């Protein structure tokens, strides 16, 4: 099938476009996200979306990546847009993306999957920043709730000059702590930082409401449906590979 004329091939050729589109659609069919009988319709939809945005897509290509890798990432994103708008199987920000985030042993993340994860990371960071003067508190509380040790910089941002050794010990996370233990620790940290006398139950309610706000903001005006489980996965991907 010839989509572009010889003089109009541009950076990405017809062959490159159709070959990569075929691979992506077949990958989703194999994973059970698309019925085999919808192969041709899905393939055609992706190609039409690409043609409609072709000029803009080519203008953003900076040649740092191979043409095939860049185009794969673009088409993969279009595939996800189609899935999110038509498939009842996309239960939260994506069963497929959640599987990628879990990154089981032996799973090699592809450039396309890496792009999706990076986009979600950046969006989470924007959402956290939207809490303004409470950003440091929200980040610290959420990280500990999801069993991720906060960094010294994050502690300092919230506690100012009150982060002594006793407070630092409270942030050591082994991963098997009960929620009650986490709320007790956060209560001590909160009372130290804010000179208050809160009870652990007040911290529990704050964390619950805050997670709800983060989930709502992540889903706002987007074809996603985050829940606490997928939020935990996202926090894990954003923060566990960073130095603390």
**pLDDT per residue over 81-129, tens digit each?**
777 666 444 444 445 555 555 554 344 556 556 666 777 888 899 999 9
Residue with tokens 């003067």: 133
- Dig out the tokens for 168 from the structure: 């630092």
Over residues 159-178, mean pLDDT: 82
Residue 4 has pLDDT above 90, yes or no: no
Rounded to an integer, what is the distance from CA 230 to the centroid of its chain? 9
pLDDT of residue 81: 74
Tally of residues, the chain: 244
Nearest to 69 by CA among 2, 107, 16: 16
- In angstroms, rounded to a whole number, what is the distance separating the alpha carbons of residues 206 and 144? 13
pLDDT of residue 19: 92
| pLDDT over 70 percentage in the chain | 79
- In angstroms, rounded to a whole number, what is the distance separating the alpha carbons of residues 193 and 126? 24
Least confident of 65-74, 78-87, 116-125, 182-191: 78-87
- In angstroms, rounded to a whole number, what is the distance separating the alpha carbons of residues 226 and 91? 8
- In angstroms, rounded to a whole number, what is the distance separating the alpha carbons of residues 7 and 41? 27
Higher pLDDT, 94 or 133: 133
Over residues 123-138, mean pLDDT: 93
Rounded to an integer, what is the distance from CA 87 to the centroid of its chain? 19
pLDDT of residue 106: 42
Mean pLDDT of the chain: 80
Question: How deeply is 60 buried, as exposed, middle or buried, from its count of CB atoms within 10 A (0-12, 13-18, 19+)?
Answer: exposed
pLDDT of residue 185: 94
Helices 14-30 and 39-60: crossing angle in degrees, nearest 10, is: 130
Sequence ranges of the domains in the chain: 6-90, 120-239
| pLDDT over 90 percentage in the chain | 32
Residue 165 has pLDDT above 50, yes or no: yes
Residue 229 has pLDDT above 70, yes or no: yes
Residue 201 has pLDDT above 80, yes or no: yes
pLDDT of residue 48: 93
Binned at pLDDT 50, 70 and 90, residue 223 comes out as low
Residue 134 has pLDDT above 90, yes or no: yes
pLDDT of residue 99: 55
DSSP H helices in 33-132: 39-60, 67-86, 95-102, 111-129
Binned at pLDDT 50, 70 and 90, residue 217 comes out as very high
- In angstroms, rounded to a whole number, what is the distance separating the alpha carbons of residues 114 and 104? 15
pLDDT of residue 145: 93
Helices 111-129 and 200-219: crossing angle in degrees, nearest 10, is: 120
pLDDT of residue 100: 53
Q: What's the angle, vertex CA 165, arms to CA 161 and CA 171, rounded to 5?
A: 95
């Amino acid at each position: 099938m010839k989509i572009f004329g010889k003089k109009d091939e541009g950076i990405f050729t017809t062959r490159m476009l159709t070959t990569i589109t075929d691979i992506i659609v077949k990958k989703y069919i194999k994973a059970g996200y698309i019925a085999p009988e919808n192969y041709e319709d899905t393939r055609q939809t992706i190609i039409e979306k690409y043609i409609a945005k072709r000029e803009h897509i080519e203008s953003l290509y900076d040649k740092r990546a191979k043409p095939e890798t860049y185009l794969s990432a673009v088409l993969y994103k279009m595939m996800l847009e189609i899935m999110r708008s038509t498939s009842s199987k996309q239960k939260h920000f994506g069963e497929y993306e959640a599987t990628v985030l879990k990154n089981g042993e032996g799973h090699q993340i592809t450039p396309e999957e890496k792009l999706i994860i990076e986009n979600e990371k950046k969006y989470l960071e924007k959402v956290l920043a939207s809490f303004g003067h409470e950003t440091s508190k929200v980040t610290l509380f959420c990280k500990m709730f999801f069993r991720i040790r906060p960094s010294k910089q994050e502690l300092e941002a919230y506690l100012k000059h009150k982060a002594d050794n006793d407070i630092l010990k409270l942030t050591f996370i082994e991963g098997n702590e009960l929620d009650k233990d986490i709320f007790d620790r956060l209560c001590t940290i909160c009372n130290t930082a804010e000179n208050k006398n809160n009870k652990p139950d007040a911290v529990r309610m704050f964390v619950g409401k805050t997670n709800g706000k983060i989930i709502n903001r992540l889903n706002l005006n987007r074809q996603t449906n985050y829940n606490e489980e997928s939020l935990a996965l996202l926090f894990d991907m954003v923060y566990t590979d960073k130095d603390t």
